[in-house]
Amino acid sequence: MTTDLHPPLLAQHLCFKLYSTSLKMTQLYKPLLTELKLTYPQYLVMVVLWEEEGLGIKDVAERLQQDPGSITPLVKRLEAGGYVIRARDPADERNRVLSLTQAGKDLRADGVRISQCIALACGISLADAEQLSIGLDLLNKNLGE
């Protein structure tokens, strides 16, 4: 007796739902960030620095769940754009500490505006967004950080 096994339909794959939603989300950000001459990954670095200045590249990479080697080019472009300054970490000469320039600090107001635009475009309640966020945090944790 043969069992005819079928994989789940595409619409039943959680990975596809996450992937397609992520693509749509980053596409929402693209025109808003283009005005600021930022890419989405650069924007995420700025969000981390708006939360806490004086972090090292390793710390920023850890918060973004990335390798420090992938963060360094982003930071160099942000520095060239006049948004951040890299300085040697006195505690670890191999690490660079990041500080916002005045232009980087001023950009924070645009970050708030972008967050408001994205929240509006999502079309879900604050309570639903918080529940979704909690669920995604749990999934992320379960998959290993």
- How many angstroms separate the Cα of 88 from the Cα of each of 49, 58, 117, 139? 17, 13, 36, 36
Greatest distance between any 2 Cα atoms in the chain? 72
- How many angstroms separate the Cα of 109 from the Cα of each of 17, 42, 82, 119, 132? 31, 16, 16, 16, 26
Tell me the pLDDT band of 91, cut-offs 50, 70 and 90.
confident
Question: What distance in Å separates the CA atoms of residue 86 and residue 91, rounded to the nearest whole number?
Answer: 14
Contact in structure between 57 and 96 (CB atoms under 8 Å): yes
pLDDT at 20 over 90: yes
CB-based contacts of 76, cutoff 8 Å, min separation 6:
86
Give the pLDDT score at 89.
82
Question: What distance in Å separates the CA atoms of residue 43 and residue 33, rounded to the nearest whole number?
Answer: 8
Q: 37-90: per-residue pLDDT in tens?
A: 999 999 999 999 999 999 999 999 999 999 999 999 999 999 999 999 999 888
Can you point out the beta strands (E) in the chain? 84-89, 92-100
Q: 108-136: per-residue pLDDT in tens?
A: 999 999 999 999 999 999 999 999 999 99
pLDDT at 145 over 60: no
Neighbours of 55 (CB within 10 A): 21
3-state helix, strand, coil in the chain (%, to 5): 65, 10, 25
Residue 103: name the closest of 88, 82, 129 by CA: 82
pLDDT at 102 over 70: yes
User: pTM above 0.85?
Assistant: yes
Give the pLDDT score at 66.
95
Q: 28-39: per-residue pLDDT in tens?
A: 999 999 999 999
Domains of the chain in sequence order = 31-143 (1.10.10.10)
